[in-house]
Amino acid sequence: MEPAGIWRKDAKLIELDVQDGALGASLVDRGFGRFLGVSQSDRRIAAIAADHPTLAGRLTESALRKIVQCNNADVLILSGRTTRQLWRYGRWRHAGHVAWPLQLRLGTLVAAIAGLVHFLLGRVRWGGVVPYRAGPKGRRYLVVLQVRRPKRRSARYYLPHALGVGGFLNRLSEAPIRHVVLRWFESLPDLSPTEDLDLLVDDHDFEKILAVLAEGPGIQPCDVYTVTGLPGSDYYRKGVTQNVPYYPPRLAEAILQDARPYQGLCRVPSEEHHFLSLAYHAVYHKGPRSGIPSTTGKSRPNRRPAHDYAAVLEALARKLGIDVRITLEDLDAYLASRGWRPPRDMLARLGPRDPWIRRLVRQAVCEPEDRRLSVFILRREGLNRGGLASLVAKLEHYGFDRDDQNAHSPGVEARRRPGPRGELGPGAFQDFGRSAGRGRGHLRHRAAADELRPQAPVPRDDQRPPAGEAKHPRRLQPRASRPRAVQRGPFERQRARGDGLPADPHAGASRRN
């Protein structure tokens, strides 16, 4: 089967642990110019470039251990020792296709068994066998599998190898794309292969920067965040809810507004915003993993952080004349005094499994409006799909009393309150595009409701009934007499666990007056 029958000509192909360059040269000759060969040996790369001049500029050296998953390949070719990685489905499922050369060696047999296992599990489907030239008369074959459900990436992208860091930053300035390199920009354009480039871009320029990033294969990581956290540019790590903006939108907009040019390469935060944004990242994104100590001793700092956040923040504070101790608690208090602390609901979404963030949420002030009144927002496309009737039915099912219901005109976008509750972006309907200006995900309908039947708090361990008594009295009630379940948010769950949140003053009330 010809490769054109499986892949598009503009597909990004990356061969890991490239052996002799025959495969890459054959693909380039067939019109697949977006090819990149990766090897751990500089000598091998030099030898391959001498034997195959068409691969000049399409080869790179990398000793990165996680190279299988750290790339932007549409077609990932596992050669040499990397064929054993075919067993690690989570490492290559970001690619649309995975392939390996068919050779008389043990690794090929192991790869074939792994491919058969993934096929039986429904993870991949058969792609085909692609022949390619190996010398004047030689002929080899490439086995191809298609990934059924490629993994969705969050804000992690990879710079095209042909552009490099300097060329990529120049393209941002030429476009022009409203952007800011958030940190570690002092050594640019030199950037370690394991270091990522952190960018904050305007929502309206997100599509432009995606077009630049899609120009070719690459292995240099780049994190792209937008002001409102559009799909594909939101902050995400293990244990953290998706669709969370990297910074509260009003702060992100302020960083972009006050950005300054840096050495004719890019734009960087102002000196004050450099300190504030780096402290925000260290305290709320990294926490103890940043290596910054805690005054309480409850959070053990990482002794070997990727960067010395404490030393950098101390130097920036000294330069700006800011008198603050470099501890997690003191930095949190200072950020709160400057209006840079995330809102309480955003804190809860940032780290539901992070003890440090959960402690901050418990200490945050619970406003009266957070305890009882709930506002449900329906976007335009959700309204078009009949979501209003479903929303009303669910509100009634979960015991909410509807107080208000309004349909908003398109002009409401300009009057929304800034912040994570107001800057909603286009929403999760990705099939209508990511740009905030396309409108299909805009705010269209709002419903306010009171919770009529707050669920009783779950007893703590010291309040549980003794052994032998019923531990779940609700299960002993007849089905008809059981109270209907109430879906609770993160703050209500914390209050139910007795985590120190103030009690609901409206509990037991039938209706807000």
pLDDT per position as a tens digit, 86-115: 999 999 999 999 999 988 888 888 999 999
Q: What is the pLDDT of residue 164?
A: 94
Shared-domain flag, residues 356 and 393: no
Say what the pLDDT of residue 475 is: 39
385 lies in the same domain as 347: no
In a domain, 509, yes or no: no
d(CA 432, CA 425): 13
Tell me if residue 479 falls in helix, strand or coil. Answer: helix
Last residue of a domain, one of 236, 251, 268: 268
Residue 510, in any domain of the structure? no
pLDDT-based confidence at 483, cuts 50/70/90? very low
In a domain, 508, yes or no: no
pLDDT of residue 447: 60
pLDDT at residue 465 above 70?
Answer: no
Domains in the chain: how many in total?
4
What pLDDT score does 360 carry?
87
Same domain? For 261 and 274 the reply is: no
Q: Are 199 and 176 in contact (CB under 8 A)?
A: no
* pLDDT (average), residues 450-458: 47
- pLDDT value at 338 more than 80: yes
Here the tokens at position 306 are: 């990727």
Mean pLDDT across the chain: 80
Query: What would the pLDDT profile of 136-168 be if each residue is shown by its tens digit?
Result: 768 899 999 999 999 877 789 999 999 999 999
Residues 317, 340 within the same domain: yes
Residue 35 pLDDT exceeds 70: yes
Residue 503 placed within a domain: no
CA contacts within 13 A on the Cβ side of 376: 24
198 and 313 in a common domain: no
User: Which residues are CB-neighbours of 238 under 8 A, at least 6 positions away?
Assistant: none
pLDDT-based confidence at residue 367 (cuts at 50, 70, 90): low
Quote the Cα angle for 404-409-414, to 5°: 105
Could you tell me which of 318, 341, 364 has the C-alpha nearest to residue 494?
364
pLDDT at 220 over 70: yes
Q: Facing residues of 483 across strands?
A: none
- The torsion defined by the Cα of 251, 256, 260 and 265, in degrees rounded to 10, comes to 130
Q: Does residue 83 form part of some domain?
A: yes
| Measured distance CA(268)–CA(276) in Å, rounded | 13
Please give the Cα distance from 439 to 432 (Å, whole number).
9
pLDDT of 379 > 90? The answer is no
Answer whether residue 505 is part of any domain.
Answer: no
* In the block, residue with structure tokens 């000598």: 43
- Residue 106 is predicted with a pLDDT of 84
On whether both 157 and 136 belong to a single domain, the answer is no
pLDDT > 70 fraction of the chain, expressed in percent and rounded: 74
For the segment 389-415, the average pLDDT, to the nearest whole number, is 69
Query: Final residue of a domain: which of 127, 147, 167?
Result: 147
- 39, 72: one domain: yes
Residues 254 and 278 in one domain: no
Asked if residue 276 and residue 166 are part of one domain, the reply reads: no
**Is residue 429 very low, low, confident or very high in pLDDT (cuts 50, 70, 90)?**
very low
Report which secondary-structure segment, H or E, holds 97: strand 97-102
Bigger pLDDT: 432 vs 157: 157
- pLDDT (mean) for 235-264: 86
Q: Assess whether pLDDT exceeds 90 at residue 2.
A: no
Residues 187 and 296 in one domain: no
210 and 288 assigned to the same domain: no
Give the domain extent around 179.
153-268
Structural domain contains residue 511: no
Q: Of 268, 291, 307, which marks where a domain is finished?
A: 268
